[in-house]
Structure 1
Amino acid sequence: MATLVLAAVCTLLVLVLPALSKEFTDEVIPKGQTERIVPLALVGLGAIALRQVLFTLRTVSNNVFEQKVVHDLRTELYGKIQRLPLRWFDNQPTGDIMTRVASDVPAMERVIIEGLDQGLSGVLQFVVVFGYLLTQHAGLTLLTVAPLPVVALAVRIYQKRVEPKYKAASEAGSALNSLLHDNIAGIRQIKAYTVEPEELERFDRRSRDVQTAQLSVVKANAVIWPFVSLVAESGIVLTIAFAAWWICRGTATLGTLSAVLMSWGLLYDPVSRVNPLTQLFTAGIVAGKRVFAVLDQTDEANFAEGGRLEELKGAVRFEGVAFSYGGEVPTVAGVDVEAQPGQTIALVGPTGAGKSTLLNLLTRFYEPDSGRILLDGAPVSGMSKEWLRDRIGYVTQESFLFNASVRENLTVAKPGAEDEEIWAALESANAAEFVRRLPEGLETVTGERGTRLSGGERQRLSIARALLKNPPILLLDEATSAVDNETERLIQEALERLRADRTCFVIAHRLSTVEKADRIYVMERGRVVESGRHGELLAMGGLYARLCAGGLKEEAAVSA
């Protein structure tokens, strides 16, 4: 409301100069009223100064509101992204998500703040100046605005045709950001395989796509806006010509012409904003559609809502579970796996057998296509995902660390954990010694994705994070894959002490880890083909025996 009042006062002040021009032309100069020159000039200067002060206040007010809106909208979008299911992320490039948050939100906001502000103030100024001109000379006023219908039609045609061009430019920029994100994340692989020239060529192609899309927009602007200016400025020629005729006939004065000519700039100032505002609105509409395409997605179901067991013992059962990531061939099919409270279950099998998929289904990152998973006899499908995941510790293959301190990376699992708890978890994961050697100990920043640490150090911190959570169910997806034999031995000792009080699912590539499990499930092509204890499976002479004969340590033998 305050901004609108400021805009109205600023608009009224613009009429001071045309009025002064007419007064000087019709009264002061012809009548030699020299004593009025200085007072009238001071009035004009005062009006200009006051208008600029009010404009400054309006700009500050708009910017404060603008930044609040950007913050709120960006936060809402990020919150929505966090509530989306993993299936959405599987099909959405990271660079595209980043573009929507970092670029599309400000573009959308500019429509809401700058567009509406400039648009409303422009309409207000046009109405006020147009009304003033009508009081001066109705004929000249109508001649001045005669080109506007042609301008409106041209702008409408432009907006309809240029929106697809803005959309193509936005999508090309997102594709470029996605490629850049992937290449920076995979810079070690690029350097290791010396494919810098090939990746530069790929980047060059994506960059040229952006260039082509942007040039398409520029060309459209280069054609339409000179035409709009030509049509709009033709009005001033008509105004001068007819004003000369009317002045000669005595139906208008030089002062009237002076006021009209000075007001013409004020009248067409809002029209001159049509170019940037149309581009702003078009880009904002495209950005808004991309933002709302995310906001309109369905949240992950049953995140906070759902059942919660009063006491979780840790009995897990997969009954005829089948699942596919979207292909025709199921990733897992007809899987039956059972774990009693406190048992350690090992999952082994060739690459792509579906072992990691079972863990993803247990955490409800994905939902089974058929079959069911029971926790203490209750279907997990009816449980709150938030409650369920709070009671599961998950150490994944990638050992992901945030670009934050060691402490912050660990307390993700247990916010507010005391130092004693943190060091106990580090000791259990055999990570305390190297953390103490870090320059700032627990406060040392690990780098993006933990790049300042070795693979084994990242793995041990991931294990410590899961142990700090102290969950009743522990999922270890090749949790010791990046540590040496001695470190693995120490970690195994720590894990064995913890297994008595929790149910563990272990995907491992080392025989020493597998043979101590209470039960081993051997998977191949998404199905359980064998199950039993280590000795029983060896006696069968099947797939497990063949894997053991190969040492059960080939990477191809266990990756899921």
Structure 2
Amino acid sequence: MNTSVILRLLKYGLNHKAILVQASLLLLLATGLDMLAPWLTMIYIDQFVAVDHYQVNTLVGIAVIYIGVIIGANLLSYFQSLSYFDLSAKVIAELRQASFQHCLKLPMAYFHQHSNGETINRMTQDVEAVRHLFKNIIGRTIRDIFTVIAVIISMLLLNVQLALVCIAFIPVFIAVFVAYRHFSLPLHRKIKQQSAKINGFLNESLQQVLLLQVFNAQPRFIKRLNDKAQTNIALSQRNVTLEALLLRPMLELLAILMMAALILSLGAMPSNLLAFGLLFAFFAYLARFFEPIINLMQSQGELLQAVAAAERVFQLLDHDIESSGGSLQLNHCPTICFHQVSFAYVQGEPVLSNLDLTIAPGEFVALVGPTGSGKSTIAQLLKGYYQANSGHIQLDQHLISHYQTDGLRKAITLVDQKPFIMQASVRQNLLLDLVHPDDAQLHHVLAQVELAPWLASLPQGLDTSIDNNSPLLTLGQKQLLCFARALLQNSSVIILDEASASLDPASEQAIQRVIAQLRGKVSLLVIAHKLSNIKMADKIAVLQQGVLMQQGKHADLVKNKGAYQQLLASNDSPPSNIVA
């Protein structure tokens, strides 16, 4: 078992020392009271029943104490359980908040390498498994360990020879523990990984359920889910088989062997040392010895599941967060220079090769080229999501890495081809985490992107709740709302990544009119497949397989044979018919 994971989890518990101390004290008291019951029974049998000597007052006193011990032990155990529940709630709240905050700071490369479903699984189901560790397993394990120690001490006080027989079996129990953990932990890790894959598959499938229905792909996806489930079932069956071999049957065998050894030891002891009350108490303690041992073994499976889950949570927390960048602030429209920039998401598969491109302040630059030519990658590099493998990007003669990341993201806004609408009000969708401007500014921005009539039609105006599937929004309106969100940032550079690719003509023309208003005030970087949208650009950069083939104005590029002419031909749009 990964001891460092256990110790790291316990550190979270130590952040709440008062609750932990309270729970531990209650546990110790409950265990101590539980140990008194057999001792009181021994006193009653040997000092009263065996000698036929009954004193009512003494017997009543013993009975009252015995009942008080039983009730007190159970009450303390109850309050101890509540304390561990409180501890688990606080630890899990802390862990879940830490994992969510950390996740928001991870670089984009992490989300390209891990599915959203897998990441969500780490922050929900895996964290919940850790809750079970603090709520049940830790308290129960500490209680069982304390009980075993208290039982051994009690048995030694009663009869050293019989106690040593029981103690001799403890190394055997430990060997079974170690063997089970050795074989079971890898299985639990695989089960957790497979469960995360299933959750990721379900998440992605449900996001594309309309597409599955359109192409009648449900049977194929159901088969893929069944295949993943069968793998998970096979792993679980292997784990059940392991538990069946090393847990209950093995423990029962050891218990039988221990009882046989005790019976043989009894035959070798003088009869005058074997009072009936002593034997009764000893075997009562022995029953208490077996119970925690069995509990410890059976909780191994739960413990290993929790440890495997915690490993996955800590893998998320240990992943390097995004760099905060340098000390410079970008608060104006800069000159952007890509100098000999090369980049690859996967080593050996270049996306950009030796790119040289300059964007002057306030310039309207269009990036065109076939799919996979590196257009969107340029936007990702400019936003600081990735670092160039070679070459460098400069903003006003300073390397992009010298600027603060937060300021860079605020100054350079990206409007993606996939509009993102939260399940929230129109106001919250526009602001995200921005300082709340007055409603007049929000109305102005919405009017600027020609959404004022749409806003007027909403039942509660800016407070109307919307989401990505809201019937109140068309695809074009979603994209215009995202455009309005970008304008509220007051950015000096706006990147439109295929922002009008799927829009209706009216919405597309609205975006074109907004671009015309912004032209010269901010730098515009437009990534487009539709060449009709970029005729009026100050500069058109033509990319093919990550290489800058041509750059210049539309009119100049049309005159020269080359990559731009080929793109025009593939779009079936003769130059004379291209409109802005």
CA-CA distance at 1:390 after TM superposition: 1.3
Q: Partners in 1 of 2:113 and 2:103 — Cα distance?
A: 13
Aligned to 1:206: 228
Which SS does the other structure have where 1:264 is aligned?
Answer: helix
Map 1:472-487 to 2 at 5 A.
472-487=492-507
Which sits farther off after the overlay, 367-376 or 215-224? Answer: 367-376
Aligned to 1:370: 390
Q: Partners in 2 of 1:477 and 1:463 — Cα distance?
A: 11
The one-letter amino acid of 2:404's match is S
Q: Partners in 2 of 1:162 and 1:452 — Cα distance?
A: 52
Aligned to 2:90: 68
Contact in 2 for aligned 1:77/1:291 (Cα 8 Å): yes
The one-letter amino acid of 2:141's match is G
Deviations 1:37-94 (A, max 9, x none): 4432222221121112211221111111111111212222222222222122211122
Which residue of the other structure, out of 453, 476, 483, is the alignment partner of 1:463?
A: 483
* Structure 1: unaligned runs, 5 residues or longer: 555-560
Deviations 1:311-349 (A, max 9, x none): 523321212211111153421112222221111111111
Aligned to 1:341: 361
1:228 aligned onto 2:248: no
Contact in 2 for aligned 1:74/1:101 (Cα 8 Å): yes
Deviations 1:339-397 (A, max 9, x none): 21111111111121211111111111111112211112211122221111111111011
* Structure 2: unaligned runs, 5 residues or longer: 1-20, 575-580
Aligned to 1:22: 42
CA 1:294/1:413 → structure 2, altered by over 3 Å: closer, same or farther?
closer
Deviations 1:170-214 (A, max 9, x none): 111111111111111111111111010111000000011111111
Contact in 2 for aligned 1:402/1:448 (Cα 8 Å): yes
Which residue of the other structure, out of 110, 116, 125, is the alignment partner of 1:88?
A: 110
CA 1:553/1:193 → structure 2, altered by over 3 Å: closer, same or farther?
farther
* Residues matched between the structures, number: 551
CA-CA distance at 1:138 after TM superposition: 1.6
Which sits farther off after the overlay, 494-503 or 355-364? Answer: 494-503
Aligned-pair identity (%):
26
Aligned to 2:5: none
Contact in 2 for aligned 1:143/1:235 (Cα 8 Å): yes
Contact in 2 for aligned 1:402/1:450 (Cα 8 Å): no
Q: Partners in 2 of 1:422 and 1:243 — Cα distance?
A: 89
Deviations 1:252-288 (A, max 9, x none): 1110011112112222332122223322332233223
Aligned to 2:272: 250
1:195 aligned onto 2:217: yes
Which residue of the other structure, out of 441, 448, 451, is the alignment partner of 2:461?
A: 441
Aligned to 2:54: 33
Which residue of the other structure, out of 507, 512, 515, is the alignment partner of 2:535?
A: 515
Contact in 2 for aligned 1:190/1:196 (Cα 8 Å): yes
Which SS does the other structure have where 2:465 is aligned?
Answer: coil
Aligned to 1:163: 185
Which residue of the other structure, out of 259, 262, 274, is the alignment partner of 1:239?
A: 262
Aligned to 1:558: none
Contact in 1 for aligned 2:330/2:411 (Cα 8 Å): no
The one-letter amino acid of 2:464's match is T
Aligned to 1:407: 427
Aligned to 1:389: 409
Aligned to 2:67: 45
Aligned to 2:339: 319
Which SS does the other structure have where 1:335 is aligned?
Answer: strand
Q: Partners in 2 of 1:80 and 1:469 — Cα distance?
A: 24
Which sits farther off after the overlay, 291-300 or 46-55? Answer: 291-300
Q: Partners in 2 of 1:516 and 1:460 — Cα distance?
A: 21
The TM-score with structure 2 as length reference comes to 0.89
1:430 aligned onto 2:453: no
Contact in 1 for aligned 2:334/2:360 (Cα 8 Å): yes
Aligned to 1:279: 301
Contact in 2 for aligned 1:428/1:491 (Cα 8 Å): no
CA 1:132/1:447 → structure 2, altered by over 3 Å: closer, same or farther?
same
Aligned to 1:453: 473
The one-letter amino acid of 2:399's match is P
Q: Partners in 2 of 1:307 and 1:548 — Cα distance?
A: 44
Which SS does the other structure have where 1:273 is aligned?
Answer: helix
Q: Partners in 2 of 1:86 and 1:486 — Cα distance?
A: 33
Which sits farther off after the overlay, 509-518 or 331-340? Answer: 509-518
Contact in 2 for aligned 1:81/1:294 (Cα 8 Å): yes
Which residue of the other structure, out of 557, 564, 568, is the alignment partner of 1:537?
A: 557
Q: Partners in 2 of 1:102 and 1:185 — Cα distance?
A: 19
CA 1:512/1:267 → structure 2, altered by over 3 Å: closer, same or farther?
same
Which SS does the other structure have where 2:48 is aligned?
Answer: helix
CA 1:551/1:465 → structure 2, altered by over 3 Å: closer, same or farther?
same
CA 1:23/1:244 → structure 2, altered by over 3 Å: closer, same or farther?
farther
Which residue of the other structure, out of 417, 420, 423, is the alignment partner of 2:437?
A: 417
CA 1:101/1:300 → structure 2, altered by over 3 Å: closer, same or farther?
same
Contact in 2 for aligned 1:399/1:459 (Cα 8 Å): yes
Contact in 1 for aligned 2:333/2:493 (Cα 8 Å): no
Which residue of the other structure, out of 335, 338, 360, is the alignment partner of 2:380?
A: 360
Deviations 1:153-180 (A, max 9, x none): 1111111111111112111111111111
Which sits farther off after the overlay, 435-444 or 129-138? Answer: 435-444
CA-CA distance at 1:408 after TM superposition: 1.9
Which sits farther off after the overlay, 543-552 or 320-329? Answer: 543-552
Q: Partners in 1 of 2:548 and 2:361 — Cα distance?
A: 21
The one-letter amino acid of 1:33's match is Y
Which sits farther off after the overlay, 412-421 or 342-351? Answer: 412-421
CA 1:542/1:413 → structure 2, altered by over 3 Å: closer, same or farther?
farther
The one-letter amino acid of 1:380's match is I
Which sits farther off after the overlay, 63-72 or 260-269? Answer: 260-269
Contact in 2 for aligned 1:243/1:257 (Cα 8 Å): no
Aligned to 2:515: 495
Cα RMSD for the two superposed structures: 2.4
Q: Partners in 1 of 2:471 and 2:229 — Cα distance?
A: 28
Which sits farther off after the overlay, 397-406 or 544-553? Answer: 544-553
The TM-score with structure 1 as length reference comes to 0.92
Q: Partners in 2 of 1:173 and 1:343 — Cα distance?
A: 50
Contact in 2 for aligned 1:146/1:235 (Cα 8 Å): no
Aligned to 2:32: 12
Aligned to 1:120: 142
CA 1:94/1:452 → structure 2, altered by over 3 Å: closer, same or farther?
farther
Contact in 2 for aligned 1:521/1:528 (Cα 8 Å): yes
Which sits farther off after the overlay, 195-204 or 373-382? Answer: 373-382
Q: Partners in 1 of 2:459 and 2:237 — Cα distance?
A: 50
Contact in 1 for aligned 2:480/2:507 (Cα 8 Å): no
